[in-house]
Structure 1
Amino acid sequence: MAHTARSRRTTAALAALSLGILAALTACNGDAENDAAAPGTHASPSATRADKGTNTPSSAGPSDSGSGTGKSSGSPSTPPSSKPGSDDGQDGGVGMCETADLSYNVTVASRPVNHALLTASNKGSDPCLLSANELVITIPGLDGAAEHMGPDGKDWILEPGQNAYAGIMFSRADTAGGKSADKMEVALTASESPTTVPINDGPVTVNDGQVTSFFGTAEDALTY
């Protein structure tokens, strides 16, 4: 009986020892598993900063990111400038008016006396640059062209169908005699061949010819 009791105590002690060893091993394994799991469950500070960095704006300027927006906010492109006139007497691509480009009408004016009104019209389909101060008026049978009178006018673009006006004085009141004329010659410049224009309500007596520059209204042309 005594042997049996000792055997049971020995067995119980061994069993307790085994349980202790098992518990110790289990605790060690648990610590080892926690240590192994630590890198995966707790992010390092550097990793946390990296993760946050993916959501923060880049340090580059606006032109580095979203370049389309940056370009659209800039100033608009300068449109191309018009082509300059060539050296053949053009201005801004519009050619000079030539004598043959216009139609002419000369009518004796009621006032002032001894004056006629020249009306020049652009009969073409394109505008042209009218030289205001180079008009040449000649009375056939008289020496030389009419002299200039009044202020200088300004060149301007004469649109199709638009008129320009010049006043012509064909006789001085204090000058006796003269030549009877029912027509005159008109040229826009001295270098061009003139065109012959009848004098409406003529003939007139011409003893001294003078002509103004071209103006935009008949009233201005007959002021001088």
Structure 2
Amino acid sequence: MLGIRTARTSRTRLLAAVATAALAALTLTACNDDAGDAGGKGTSANSPAPTAPPAASVPAPAPATGAPAQTGAPAQTGSPASAKPSAKAPAAPKPPSPADGKAVTCEGSVTKTVAAPLTRPVNHLLLTVTNTGSAPCYLYGYPAVRFGEAQSVPPVIEDSKPQAVVTLKPGESGYASVNLSATDGSGGHGRTETSLAVYFHGPSGNESVGAGSNPSLPAKGLYIDDSLKVSYWQQSMDDAVTS
């Protein structure tokens, strides 16, 4: 009887130990599941991946000594004043002037007039006009001369008209002769004059232009009468004297 009772007691203890071990295993499994659930809330596949912390800004290397630091857009070198100038536009043409070499009308401001009595032919006066300007000038027509207080100018000798207008380059001279009086004494209203004014015609030949000239006469004056007349301007002295 004692042996049977002892066997039952051992069996009961074994079952109790097995039950205790099973209970302990269940309790441990439950604890592990709870821990997994708690940790899985932050690592679920549907949860966004954690954002990496921003990288620390690395300062740019300091520029080399003497080199300008570049901030923003690169600085311009030079200025509009130092830029290469563009080609110049053609200059507007200047109006003609004596300095440009364009011929003008001969008149007192650009010429010098000299009056010289002639011995041959007698009773004649030679007028010499010299271009003192810097451009050529034209001697149009004939000289309009006035002796003393005369109110009109003497007529021109038509046969003395040249083929072309007399042109004087700077320094050149043109000529005309004045028939002072009749050689046979047939002229009327003879008188002696001590002053002379010479005026110049323009292209039309009907008007005087520019300034006149007052060449000097001999101190004793010149005898003139109503036969007074002049020649056209000539390019040569010989043509003027024989007119």
Structure 2 residue aligned with 1:175 = 187
Distance in structure 2 (CA, Å) of the matches to 1:97 and 1:186: 12
Structure 2 residue aligned with 1:191 = 208
Change (3 A) 1:223 1:158: same
Report the CA distance between 1:127 and its aligned residue: 1.4
Report the CA distance between 1:156 and its aligned residue: 3.2
Residue type of the partner of 2:241? Answer: L
Distance in structure 1 (CA, Å) of the matches to 2:240 and 2:181: 16
Change (3 A) 1:93 1:160: closer
Alpha-carbon contact 1:136-1:145 (below 8 Å) kept: yes
Corresponding residue to 2:148 among 140, 158, 180: 140
Which secondary structure state, in structure 2, belongs to the residue aligned with residue 135 of structure 1?
A: strand
Report the CA distance between 1:177 and its aligned residue: 4.9
Report the CA distance between 1:168 and its aligned residue: 0.4
Structure 1: 4+ residue segments shifted above 6 A: none
Residue type of the partner of 1:113? Answer: V
Q: Deviations over 1:97-130 (max 9, x none)?
A: 2232110000110011110000000011221222
Q: Percent identity?
A: 23
Gaps of 5+ in 1: 1-84, 87-91
Counterparts of 1:45-124 in structure 2, within 5 Å, are 93-124=102-133
More helix as a share of residues = 1
> Structure 2-normalised TM-score?
0.50
Q: Deviations over 1:177-219 (max 9, x none)?
A: 5121122110112333432221247511111321101112222
Alpha-carbon contact 1:107-1:201 (below 8 Å) kept: no
Structure 2 residue aligned with 1:155 = 165
> Structure 1-normalised TM-score?
0.54
Q: Deviations over 1:110-152 (max 9, x none)?
A: 0111100000000112212221x14211112233101101321
Structure 1 vs Structure 2 CA RMSD: 2.6
Structure 2 residue aligned with 1:19 = none
Residue type of the partner of 2:153? Answer: A
Structure 2 residue aligned with 1:164 = 174
Residue type of the partner of 1:191? Answer: S
More off after superposition, 171-180 vs 142-151: 171-180
Gaps of 5+ in 2: 1-94, 202-206
Change (3 A) 1:177 1:93: closer
Report the CA distance between 1:169 and its aligned residue: 0.8
Corresponding residue pairs, total:
136
Distance in structure 1 (CA, Å) of the matches to 2:134 and 2:170: 5
